[in-house]
């Protein structure tokens, strides 16, 4: 069975320890307030880790995904007996970042816990290697051991039937052992193609949450020290809002625009305009009929 968390005092004080295996006889007032307290404490716990605070944005756009992943991993509240979560959203919306923040918080809660984050391509390559060198015992031990396993980009296993079979067997074992597996994908479950029905059913035995990219309020929200010690100076507010209007759905692209502008304005005598930078990244607008 999966180990129980050793919770530090600042988390235990907010009842997360009790929420892991909540007593069925708890008072109604405790049950009523449990979810609200849990949400507040998860956010406070994240705020206490500088690495998470400076690289992981959260707002109403990704709240559902955050709570699904954290809730399942911490066995919190109504996720107490759930072992799987499926998180989906477009590229650049922060799916991988949510997994990284979860792993960081889990490590903070208990350094002995293992919560690896692996791309689905890596999982596929490990299956292939196990077949090639006949090392499936080693493969099974490696993937059955972690208390939490996070597989990023499950849609990349499309039509890889043997890999899907091995993943299904792995999920069966991890479920019996009470261990957690988190999946991310670019599409909702109904749009996954080339995935075995039994595997899909297993992946959907927990919460399914869509996330959208949170909206940064300023470059520093993305850990961008805009113009510090350079000729770039201050990014005008109107340019910042123009960037968000153009590519705010994709945080990677926002960072790319900021980095490009910084380089241009710090090192070029005739830097490109914001419109020129956006054109490089997105291409010309589509012609209207």
Bridge-based pairing state of the strands 180-185 and 117-119: unpaired
Both structure tokens of 205: 């035995």
CA distance 168 to 203: 9
Q: 52 pLDDT exceeds 60? A: no
Q: What is the mean pLDDT of residues 256-271?
A: 85
**pLDDT over 50 at 100, yes or no:** yes
Query: CATH classification of 9-210 is 3.40.50.300, yes or no?
Result: yes
Q: How many CA atoms lie within 13 A of 66 on its CB side?
A: 25
pLDDT digits (tens, 9 = 90+) for 12-44: 333 333 333 333 334 444 444 554 555 555 555
Give the pLDDT confidence score for residue 109 in this predicted structure.
67
Give the pLDDT of residue 10. 34
pTM: 0.71
Query: For 263-280, what is the mean pLDDT?
Result: 86
DSSP state of 182: E
Q: What's the pLDDT score for residue 17? A: 33
**In the predicted model, what is the mean pLDDT of the chain?**
75
pLDDT higher at 225 or 150: 150
112-159 pLDDT, tens digit per residue, is 667 788 899 999 999 999 989 888 888 888 898 888 888 999 999 999
The CATH 3.40.50.300 domain(s) of the chain lie at: 9-210
Distance between CA 101 and CA 70 in Å, rounded? 9
Residue-wise pLDDT for 53-71, tens only, equals 445 676 777 777 777 777 7
Name the residue among 144, 193, 137 with its Cα closest to residue 167.
Answer: 144
Quick one: pLDDT at residue 206? 86
Is pLDDT of 201 > 80? Answer: yes
Answer with the residue of higher pLDDT: 229 or 127.
127
């Amino acid at each position: 069975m999966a180990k129980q968390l050793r919770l530090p005092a600042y988390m235990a004080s907010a009842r997360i320890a009790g929420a892991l295996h909540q007593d069925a006889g708890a008072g109604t007032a405790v049950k009523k307030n449990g979810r609200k307290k849990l949400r507040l404490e998860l956010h406070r716990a994240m705020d206490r880790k500088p690495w998470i605070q400076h690289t992981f944005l959260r707002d109403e756009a990704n709240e559902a995904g955050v709570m699904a992943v954290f809730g399942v991993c911490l066995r919190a509240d109504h996720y107490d007996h759930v072992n799987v979560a499926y998180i989906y959203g477009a590229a650049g919306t922060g799916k991988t970042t949510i997994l990284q923040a979860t792993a960081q918080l889990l490590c903070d809660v208990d350094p002995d816990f293992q919560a690896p984050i692996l791309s689905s391509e890596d999982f596929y390559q490990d299956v292939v290697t196990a077949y090639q060198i006949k090392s499936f015992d080693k493969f099974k031990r490696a993937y059955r051991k972690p208390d939490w396993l996070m597989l990023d980009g499950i849609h990349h296993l499309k039509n890889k039937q043997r890999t899907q079979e091995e993943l299904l067997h792995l999920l069966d074992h991890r479920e019996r052992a009470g261990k957690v597996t988190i999946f991310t994908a670019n599409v909702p479950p109904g749009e996954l193609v080339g995935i075995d029905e039994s595997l899909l059913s297993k992946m959907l035995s927990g919460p399914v949450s869509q996330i959208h990219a949170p909206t940064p309020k300023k470059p520093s929200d993305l850990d961008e020290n805009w113009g510090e010690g350079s000729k770039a100076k201050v990014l005008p507010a109107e340019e910042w809002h123009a960037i968000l209007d153009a590519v705010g759905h994709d945080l990677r692209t926002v960072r790319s625009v900021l980095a490009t502008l910084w380089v241009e304005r710090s090192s070029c005598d005739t830097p490109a305009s914001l419109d020129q930078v956006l054109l490089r990244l997105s291409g010309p607008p589509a012609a209207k009929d």
